[in-house]
Amino acid sequence: MLKKKEKYIVAVVGATGAVGREMVQTLEEREFPIEKLRVFASERSEGKKIEYKDKDIPVEVLKDDSFEGIDIALFSAGAERSKIWAPVAVKSGCVVIDNSSQWRMDPDVPLVVPEVNPDDIKWHKGIIANPNCSTIQMVVVLKPIHDVAKIRRVVVTTFQSVSGTGQKAMDELLQQTTDILNFKNVKCNVYPYQIAFNVLPHIDKFLENGYTKEEMKMVNETKKIMGDNSIRVTATTVRVPVFRGHSESVNIETERKLTANEVRAILSGAPGIIVFDVPHKNVYPIPINVAGRDETYVGRIREDESIENGINMWIVADNLRKGAALNAVQIAERLIS
Ligand code: 25A
Ligand code: L14
């Protein structure tokens, strides 16, 4: 569908958002072959400028003919916008890489993490979905283990930073912290309760089954990306007062027994992963060190002594990079390779 070229006309939709800005920066850093970059956002951002390669690119508002001549569009303007505009872009002959939850579970749309299921890109019909941030960093680690020992069950608890919700949530954490230290009243606009100095067991909306949408994304998207519906997954997703970087406590049960050292060896040779695990020297991944990095970090690798074939791990990645912008740009790189 995408014609091979020297350089491509690329668009970022939602370019003023926390993820959109990261997308523009990642395209520049990785020297994606771009002939012309166009950036889109809502009316309130019209006239703003986005910096790319030392040039100011004006923010445009989407119109029915906006995508004409555009080869690849990276979307990060939320599910409602993707629902409306991705089909418009596809009709114009553009390939869409969508960061929202809108198309992820659609059977006609591949859901891709390049380290895990790169070949799924091939069967796209115009839209390729970028998975949920917490799911991406988990499957990067699960895949090489699954290939060796077959994972039967996953129990995951996440510790997710506020940047997943966007810049307005980062502003709220900073404002609440400042207000508390100045003995002022705390205002809550983005989250239902104070997030500063607190922990909320709630990400995205609650569903009929008592789980949140974020938790069910981890269950369903993991199976689709790994191409294996037999893996049982259960998740609890939690918001913590961290600006950037999601952490996860992951317990797995495998068909074949693996020692902690075998897991370390498997992961050390796997793409996109850094094993950071020297407990007696206090070496383990933490979000403030992983923020700004491309790899998924794994530490605290231990055998689960309560079952036959169990492993516990601590997984940390930058949610705006591997969890969103970087994964989308990696998909685009595969698409043109
Ligand atoms: O994740 P978000 O924040 O909800 O944003 C998602 C993206 O989708 C776009 C939206 O554009 C944003 O880029 N979008 C929404 N509707 C769209 C439509 N119909 C659409 N795109 C196309 N068609 P936007 O124009 O709505 O965003 C303009 C700015 O407003 C902030 N914002 C968005 N929704 C908000 C909101 N603020 C309050 N309440 C809401 N409901 C949005 O915030 C955007 O900038 P932000 O997170 O992008 O940044 C807030 C301020 O911080 C600066 N900033 C952000 N990242 C960086 C930064 N500055 C320096 N470095 C950074 N890395 C921004 O410039 C802004 O001043
Ligand atoms: O990609 O952290 O579906 O509030 C939606 C919720 C991203 C994270 C997605 C959050 C998520 C976001």
Same domain, 274 and 170: yes
Residue 335 has a pLDDT of 97
Q: Residue 164 CA: which ligand 2 atom is closest?
A: 2
Euclidean distance between the first and the last CA atom of the chain, given in angstroms as a whole number: 13
In a domain, 3, yes or no: no
221 contacts 135 by C-beta, under 8 angstroms: yes
CA 168 to centroid of ligand 1, rounded, Å: 8
Residues recognised as catalytic = 133, 246
Question: Tell me, what DSSP letter sits at residue 244?
Answer: S
CA-based nearest residue to 304, from 237, 252, 264: 252
Same domain, 102 and 220: no
> 249 pLDDT band (50/70/90 cuts)?
very high
Q: Check pLDDT > 80 for residue 110.
A: yes
- Arithmetic mean of pLDDT, 2-7: 94
Q: Which residue's C-alpha comes closest to atom 16 of ligand 1?
A: 42
160 lines ligand 2 (CB under 6 A): yes
CA 160 to centroid of ligand 2, rounded, Å: 9
Q: Indicate the pTM of the whole model.
A: 0.92
Same domain, 87 and 151: no
Look at the block and give the residue holding tokens 């793409």.
Answer: 271
Same domain, 165 and 115: no
Total count of domains within the chain: 2
CA 71 to centroid of ligand 2, rounded, Å: 27
Buried b (16+ CB within 10 A) or exposed e, 107-127: eebbbbbbbbbeebbeebebb
The 10s digit of each residue's pLDDT in 29-53 is: 999 999 999 999 999 999 999 999 9
> 246 pLDDT band (50/70/90 cuts)?
very high
203 lines ligand 2 (CB under 6 A): yes
Same domain, 298 and 328: no
Residue 63 has a pLDDT of 97
Summary mean pLDDT of the chain: 98
Same domain, 113 and 141: no
Which ligand has the nearest atom to the CA of 189? Answer: 1
Domain with residue 29: its CATH number is 3.40.50.720
CA 130 to centroid of ligand 1, rounded, Å: 19
CA 134 to centroid of ligand 2, rounded, Å: 8
What the block records as the tokens of 76 is: 């990060």
CB atoms within 10 A of CB 226: 21
Which ligand has the nearest atom to the CA of 59? Answer: 1
The 10s digit of each residue's pLDDT in 259-289 is: 999 999 999 999 999 999 999 999 999 999 9
- Arithmetic mean of pLDDT, 329-337: 97
Domain with residue 300: its CATH number is 3.30.360.10
Residue 71 has a pLDDT of 98
Q: Residue 162 CA: which ligand 2 atom is closest?
A: 2
Strands 72-75 and 95-98: parallel
The 10s digit of each residue's pLDDT in 147-178 is: 999 999 999 999 999 999 999 999 999 999 99
Alpha-carbon 57 to chain mean position:
25
Residues with CB under 6 A from ligand 1: 13-18, 20-21, 40-42, 44-45, 62, 77-78, 81, 166-168
Which ligand has the nearest atom to the CA of 220? Answer: 2
Same domain, 297 and 161: yes
Phi, psi of 273 (to 5 degrees): -120, 140
The 10s digit of each residue's pLDDT in 321-331 is: 999 999 999 99
Same domain, 143 and 280: yes
Q: Check pLDDT > 80 for residue 1.
A: no
Find the domain containing 261 and state its range: 135-319
pLDDT above 70 covers what percent of the chain?
100
